[in-house]
Amino acid sequence: MPATSDDQPGGRAPAGPHAAAPGGPRLPARAESLRTVLRSLRYLQLDPVSVVAPSHDLVLWSRLGPQAGSHLPGLWWHERWLFEYWAHAAALVLTEDYPLHRVTMDSYPPANRSYARGWMQANDALRLHVLRRLGEGAPLPTDAFEDCSVVDWPSSGWTAGRNVERMLTFLWLQGRIMVAGRAAGQRLWGLPDACLPPDADRQAVSPLEMVTAATEHTLRALGVARPLDVRQYFIRGQYTGLPEILRTLKEQGRVVPVRVDGGPPSETWYVHVEALDELEAIRAGHWQGRTALLSPFDNLINDRRLTERLWGFAFRNEMYVPKAKREYGYYLLPILHGDRLTGRLSPRFDRSRAVLVIEGLYLEADVRPTAALREAVTEQIADLAALVGATDVEYGDKVPEGWHRS
């Protein structure tokens, strides 16, 4: 998407080559490459839906290839270089960012959730029971705790009366307990002393330092963003004082304001100064995109408003749409081809037959189904099949004309 820098005329938004984006050549799938990508993204959303593969595996695969996931457990569970916490959803975050997340932990529940604080106080016996049991040393699943609450959790939804789950969630958000492991897909809970590396920095930074660091992390991850886009990434809803912080970062030469073509003249975007070399490489034509299939929860597209504004690609996750109202399919992977989001794929891994079923493949109305595009996309589909362990790929009827014959 063309962009003009206020300080460097004629620049382009660095939407491709930075490590957070699955454009440019894949990095080798080694542990250090994985650290590079994770440091750029700052979080990986965790999602229980596994129609094809877990979302965090797909995000890493699209950037690093099928072997990337093999290095993740070592960073997650053995080195504890990562831990589970809340970004805008349950996510893997970096232990080096613990001081940032500590600010959120120390202020939970926020002022607008005082009812949660009141409920915890009313059920202090349950809180103490959880901490006492975990203090015995062994990681424990949710069903290992007794419900000794005196006040049920008030909800009209699925959490109604699930008091132990609510208390564990609140203690987790406060940083009093952490996810120590997983067994059969269920969280195992433990105390921070058992879940963090001994040398981890546990001291909270100031709220100003948190927002400043999060703003820089976000701009590195997104490549280019407006203030409203920054607010939606990483520590969503916690960017107090963002306008002043952006002004300070600009004065310090840490960020550069730019304009993106097609928007109102008053709309200011920002890039991080560390992206300027990549921006210049794009201007000089030294970057070439590739093709990747993206998780529906991929960091690149998770802000649907930004996705449509930058890429001209309207995407919604239809797994939450009633079947009769779905336009494309239950589970959709956007298709990145070069510097465009060109369509979406509706895959399903039939585990009983070890077959990756492509129920539909839909290109945008202005995208021509060229042989080059077909070869690039089918190569990625074959790569996805290898990732999940499928021995065959099966196509349905909803694919572009000519693709079946090929």
Spatial separation of the C-alpha atoms in residues 293 and 343, rounded to whole Å: 10
pLDDT band with cut points at 50, 70 and 90 for residue 12? very low
Please determine, for residue 4, whether its predicted confidence score (pLDDT) is greater than 60: no
Please determine, for residue 299, whether its predicted confidence score (pLDDT) is greater than 60: yes
pLDDT band with cut points at 50, 70 and 90 for residue 15? very low
Give the pLDDT confidence of 196-234 residue by residue, as tens digits.
999 999 999 999 999 999 999 999 999 999 999 999 999
Q: Per-residue pLDDT averaged across 352-362, rounded?
A: 96
Show Cβ contacts of residue 352 under 8 Å, excluding neighbours closer than 6 positions: none
Please determine, for residue 2, whether its predicted confidence score (pLDDT) is greater than 70: no
Report the pLDDT value the prediction gives residue 25, as an integer from 0 to 100.
Answer: 63
The whole model's pTM is what? 0.89
Q: What secondary structure letter does DSSP report for 26?
A: P
The region that residue 312 occupies, defined by phi over 0 for left and psi between -120 and 50 for alpha, beta otherwise, is left
Please determine, for residue 10, whether its predicted confidence score (pLDDT) is greater than 70: no
Which two three-digit tokens encode residue 384? 């996805």
Report the pLDDT value the prediction gives residue 70, as an integer from 0 to 100.
Answer: 86
Report the pLDDT value the prediction gives residue 66, as an integer from 0 to 100.
Answer: 86
Among residues of the chain, what percentage have pLDDT more than 90?
75
Q: Per-residue pLDDT averaged across 105-117, rounded?
A: 89
pLDDT band with cut points at 50, 70 and 90 for residue 401? confident
Q: Per-residue pLDDT averaged across 127-153, rounded?
A: 96
Among residues of the chain, what percentage have pLDDT more than 70?
92
DSSP-derived secondary structure for 252-281: TTSEEEEEETTS-TT--EEEEGGGHHHHHH
Mean pLDDT lowest among 110-114, 176-180, 238-242:
110-114
182-220 burial by CB neighbour count: b if 16+ within 10 A, else e? eeeeebbbbbbebbbeeeeeeebbeeeebbbbbbbbbbb
Please determine, for residue 313, whether its predicted confidence score (pLDDT) is greater than 90: yes
Q: 3-state class of 108 per DSSP?
A: coil
pLDDT band with cut points at 50, 70 and 90 for residue 20? low
Chain mean pLDDT for the chain: 90
pLDDT band with cut points at 50, 70 and 90 for residue 29? low
Which two three-digit tokens encode residue 206? 């100031």
